[in-house]
Homo-oligomer: A and B are copies of this chain.
Amino acid sequence: MAQSRQLRLGAFMRPASIHTGAWRYPGAWPDANFNFPRLRRLAQTLERARFDAFFMADHLAVLNMPLEALKRSHTATSFEPFTLLSALAGATEHIGLVATASTTFDEAYHIARRFASLDHISGGRAGWNVVTTSNPDAALNFGLTDHVDHDERYRRAREFYDVVTGLWDSWADDAFIRDVESGIFFDPARMHVLDHKGEHLSVRGPLNIARPVQGWPVIVQAGSSEAGRQLAAETAEAVFTAPATLADGRRFYADVKGRMEKLGRDRDHMKILPACFVVVGDTLEEAKAKRARLDSLVHYDSAIASLSVALGHDASRFDPDGPLPPVPETNQSKSGRERAIQLAEREGLTVRQLAQRLGGYAGLAIVGTPASIADTMEEWLFTEGSDGFNIMFPYLPGGLDDFAEKVVPVLQDRGLFRRDYEGTTLRENLGLPRPANRFF
């Protein structure tokens, strides 16, 4: 197999583990999500393993789940992305730092400025995960009683992107001459006043910080709707997706890369990185046992609530230790019901096991040995299912250490993953071009 195609690996680190049972796993840190020295240690391990990026999802509210489930969740609270990633910038040298920031509930000038500042402080390692924020609870924290409509949010996001990138281009790369002799600090001819007046935003500029080291921090997105895919094709350089299967992944990959080409963009200038939950064992049985153990730590109250939502049917009266009984079809959640039934059949799960799987993490997962995990990743990479993955760890630090120490060396031995960082910036490591300044 050709060695030229390389995996890109992000680490999905908010929550530090997505699995609801993670904090209760034997040996795990219950406070991994909210303890700076521990997050610093994890970031440093990821950097030694040559990960491309530390990725921080974000929420602008306490997660909207029933209190009975919320009180059992280690994800209820978290650090704010810019403060955490800036602190990690000082404790790492190579790994990319991708912060989620909302185009609906923040100001373009603030966002442009913070990413530029993070990019300078980190020596060119910042990435912006552009989100439009679909959580209606967030609106209530920002003075709105109704959530902003989906299409409206995407139109604003597109304009917001134009303004932020325009502000990043406020200064030519060579604007700051700092000539001690003549006393000229910058060349005013190399400063641009944006003076944007659009449908949603009115922003004068210039930005009060020099152009970012990377020109622009790397643009990341995760939207999967029609509007989300189109915005990604127009603007994104990395996309985080959540396909359920390789076939799903390939459809998404072909669709979005096709849209890029129609827009005249080079398809290699976007890296598609599905979210993937990885459980490593020395044998397949050990890996499966780890996952079963982890799922068993999801409290039954939370678990059965998740199963009921998936089925569109109250599952609380089912025998927890029996097989899933026949469930009538309802108008709600057809695909969720179908997937749950298939999952129970495929793996022979009891009601309890099925509920705990859904209440833990039910998305794309690779559970196996380092070799079998590498096999699966290789298949995705070479059949255009993805350009790499955004890895979710089952518990911390063990699940992350297992990936770093056992899976990464196998990927490296197969020539699928770097042994050293290619460059000094996130953009260079991902193989993305540095954007030209549109004004100079």
- Name the contact of A77 in the complex, choosing from B60, B109, B208 (C-beta under 8 A): B208
B74 touching A208, Cβ below 8 Å: no
Contacts of A326 in B (CB 8 A): none
Contacts of A31 in B (CB 8 A): 176, 178
Q: Closest approach, in angstroms, between the C-beta of A222 and any C-beta of chain B? A: 19
- Name the contact of A86 in the complex, choosing from B86, B109, B209 (C-beta under 8 A): B86
| Complex-state Cα separation, A116 to B141, whole angstroms | 16
Within 8 A of B (CB), among A294-310: 297, 299
Contacts of A86 in B (CB 8 A): 82-87
- Name the contact of A205 in the complex, choosing from B141, B180, B203, B207 (C-beta under 8 A): B141
- Name the contact of A60 in the complex, choosing from B85, B109, B117, B185 (C-beta under 8 A): B109
Question: Copies of this chain, how many?
Answer: 2
| Complex-state Cα separation, A202 to B79, whole angstroms | 23
A107 touching B106, Cβ below 8 Å: yes
Say if the beta carbon of A105 comes within 8 Å of chain B.
yes
Say if the beta carbon of A263 comes within 8 Å of chain B.
no
Count residues on chain A whose CB falls below 8 Å from chain B CBs.
Answer: 73
Q: Closest approach, in angstroms, between the C-beta of A121 and any C-beta of chain B? A: 5
Task: Flag A112-132 by CB within 8 Å of B: 1 or 0 each.
Answer: 011011101100000000000
A79 touching B34, Cβ below 8 Å: no
Least CB separation from A126: chain B residue: B83
| Complex-state Cα separation, A59 to B187, whole angstroms | 21
Say if the beta carbon of A277 comes within 8 Å of chain B.
no
Contacts of A382 in B (CB 8 A): none
| Complex-state Cα separation, A178 to B76, whole angstroms | 12
- Name the contact of A76 in the complex, choosing from B67, B140, B185, B204 (C-beta under 8 A): B185
| Complex-state Cα separation, A208 to B143, whole angstroms | 16
Q: Closest approach, in angstroms, between the C-beta of A301 and any C-beta of chain B? A: 9
| Complex-state Cα separation, A24 to B63, whole angstroms | 52
- Name the contact of A183 in the complex, choosing from B24, B82, B185, B205 (C-beta under 8 A): B24
B141 touching A83, Cβ below 8 Å: no
B297 touching A83, Cβ below 8 Å: no
Contacts of A183 in B (CB 8 A): 24, 72, 297, 299
Q: Closest approach, in angstroms, between the C-beta of A436 and any C-beta of chain B? A: 21
Least CB separation from A90: chain B residue: B90
| Complex-state Cα separation, A194 to B202, whole angstroms | 32
B141 touching A78, Cβ below 8 Å: no
A117 touching B83, Cβ below 8 Å: yes
Q: Closest approach, in angstroms, between the C-beta of A319 and any C-beta of chain B? A: 22
Say if the beta carbon of A234 comes within 8 Å of chain B.
no
B83 touching A203, Cβ below 8 Å: no
- Name the contact of A34 in the complex, choosing from B85, B120, B202, B299 (C-beta under 8 A): B120
Assess A78 versus B209: contact at CB under 8 Å? Given A89-B87, A117-B83, A180-B30. Answer: yes
Task: Flag A153-175 by CB within 8 Å of B: 1 or 0 each.
Answer: 00000000000000000010000
Contacts of A142 in B (CB 8 A): 107, 109, 203
Say if the beta carbon of A398 comes within 8 Å of chain B.
no
Contacts of A78 in B (CB 8 A): 208-209
Say if the beta carbon of A188 comes within 8 Å of chain B.
yes
Say if the beta carbon of A292 comes within 8 Å of chain B.
no
Residues in chain A within 8 A of chain B (CB atoms): 23-24, 30-31, 34, 36, 40, 59-63, 67, 70-74, 76-80, 82-91, 105-107, 109-110, 113-114, 116-118, 120-121, 137, 140-143, 145, 171, 176, 178, 180, 183-188, 201-210, 297, 299
Query: 11 A-B Cβ contacts within 8 A?
Result: A34-B210, A36-B121, A72-B183, A72-B184, A77-B208, A83-B118, A84-B86, A84-B117, A88-B90, A107-B142, A143-B202
